[in-house]
């Protein structure tokens, strides 16, 4: 199969289950909006002012198919997703609590074993939780508490800032899940040091805005960051090189075990990127935030609008 045209690529992204899965957030935005307090809703974690910094609170629910099919992996994924949410905000995790629903002791044990092993790898304790006895299905949710000195938010990207993708290209592509797994056993020693670079950069004043690349993939994450910040964005596809064997469209939609989209002043890119590159990580300039509300894909001399969040909300979290 040949390379998709730019218009075909836009159509593939917009019609993907990844993009469609974000639409229910619009209802949350309409009902709750910014009514939760001084810190705006819609970020990777809630940020509560506390002394000279912020307490961070986040939670993740794991899709039922994964909980049913591979409860051990579901437990590990719950830890990973929550830990990433805290580091994406410029924070460091303090502890987690879980809510498990099951009528099957074997599944319960596998879920707990996955959470235990994930918590050990990321050096974050599970400090409590709740088990709900169910008659049929199983479920898993995990919540996490962290602390930040300097926030990285979804609301502070500015026109003229560059879009920097941070990830680890030493991983494995799981095509059936659309998942880039850079948490292989050989990566263990790198897991926490790689994450620690994010709060370190925030505390040095090298960035104020960013998000982790989770269910939205690179394309959806850039779109959500632009929408929350009420800016546009231009993704330069010629600057994005997927790993060997991974097509461009799935790569733009991939959930990354370690991946972040950051908004960086052009004068700060080298200072921000150097520590990541020193660990063998990718820190690539892949585009620019712009004035307006259109998120555009560019390849060669051609451009196509992926989404205009002023005309059609993506999550609705950036609306006044």
DSSP 14-33: HTSHHHHTTTTHHHHHHHHT
| Host H or E run for residue 131 | strand 126-133
The torsion angle over the Cα atoms of residues 262, 267, 272 and 277, rounded to 10 degrees, is 100
Q: Where are the domains of the chain?
A: 6-27+153-308, 44-148
Which two three-digit tokens encode residue 180? 């880039």
pLDDT at 20: 79
What is the number of alpha carbons within 13 Å of residue 187 lying toward its C-beta? 20
pLDDT at 22: 62
Q: Do the domains 44-148 and 6-27+153-308 match in fold? A: no
Identify the bridge partners of residue 249 per DSSP, sorted by sequence position: none
pLDDT at 218: 97
Show Cβ contacts of residue 74 under 8 Å, excluding neighbours closer than 6 positions: 62, 66, 67, 111, 114, 140
CA dist list (Å): 107 to 75, 77, 114, 140: 10, 15, 11, 11
pLDDT at 68: 87
pLDDT at 1: 45
Task: Please state the CATH superfamily assignment of the domain spanning residues 44-148 in this structure.
Answer: PurM-like, N-terminal domain (3.30.1330.10)
Chain centre to alpha carbon of residue 263:
14
How far apart are the C-alpha atoms of 196 and 245, rounded to whole Å?
Answer: 30
Q: Where are the alpha helices (DSSP H) in the chain?
A: 6-14, 17-20, 25-32, 64-69, 71-88, 105-122, 188-203, 217-229, 248-253, 269-278
- Total residues belonging to the chain: 320
CATH number for 6-27+153-308 (one of 3.90.550.10, 3.90.650.10, 1.20.140.10, 3.40.220.10): it is: 3.90.650.10
Splitting the chain (320 residues) into consecutive groups of 10 residues, what average pLDDT does each group show?
85 89 61 56 86 93 88 94 96 97 89 96 96 83 97 96 97 92 91 98 96 93 95 97 94 96 98 98 98 97 95 76
pLDDT at 302: 95
How far apart are the C-alpha atoms of 183 and 47, rounded to whole Å?
Answer: 27
Identify the bridge partners of residue 298 per DSSP, sorted by sequence position: 236, 303
Show Cβ contacts of residue 132 under 8 Å, excluding neighbours closer than 6 positions: 99, 100, 101, 102, 139
Residues 274, 264 contacting (CB under 8 angstroms): no
Report the number of secondary-structure helices (H) and strands (E) in the chain.
10, 15
């Amino acid at each position: 199969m040949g390379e998709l045209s730019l218009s075909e690529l836009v159509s593939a992204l917009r019609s993907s289950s990844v993009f469609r899965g974000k639409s229910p957030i619009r209802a949350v935005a309409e009902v709750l909006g910014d009514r939760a307090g001084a810190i705006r809703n819609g970020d990777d974690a809630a940020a509560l002012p506390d002394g000279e910094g912020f307490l961070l609170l986040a939670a993740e629910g794991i899709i039922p198919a994964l909980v049913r099919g591979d409860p051990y992996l579901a437990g590990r994924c719950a830890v990973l997703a929550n830990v990433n949410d805290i580091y994406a905000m410029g924070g460091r995790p303090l502890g987690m609590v879980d809510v498990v629903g099951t009528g099957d002791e074997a599944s319960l044990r596998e879920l707990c074993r996955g959470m235990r092993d994930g918590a050990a790898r990321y050096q974050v304790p599970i400090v409590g939780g709740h088990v709900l006895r169910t008659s049929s299905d199983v479920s898993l949710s995990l919540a996490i508490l962290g602390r930040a000195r300097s926030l990285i938010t979804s609301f502070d990207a500015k026109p003229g800032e560059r879009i920097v993708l941070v990830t680890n290209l030493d991983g494995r592509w799981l095509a059936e899940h659309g998942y880039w797994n850079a948490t292989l056993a050989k990566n263990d020693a790198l897991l926490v040091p790689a994450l620690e670079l994010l709060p370190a950069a925030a505390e040095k004043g090298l960035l104020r805005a960013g998000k982790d690349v989770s269910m939205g993939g690179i394309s959806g994450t850039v779109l959500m960051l632009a929408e929350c910040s009420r800016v546009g964005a231009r993704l330069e596809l010629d600057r994005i090189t997927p790993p060997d064997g991974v097509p461009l469209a799935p790569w733009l939609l991939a959930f990354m075990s370690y991946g972040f989209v950051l908004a960086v002043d052009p004068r700060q890119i080298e200072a921000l990127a150097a520590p990541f590159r020193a660990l063998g990580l990718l820190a690539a300039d892949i585009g620019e935030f712009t004035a307006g509300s259109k998120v555009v894909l560019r390849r060669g001399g051609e451009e196509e609008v992926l989404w205009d969040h002023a005309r059609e909300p993506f999550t609705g979290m950036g609306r006044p």
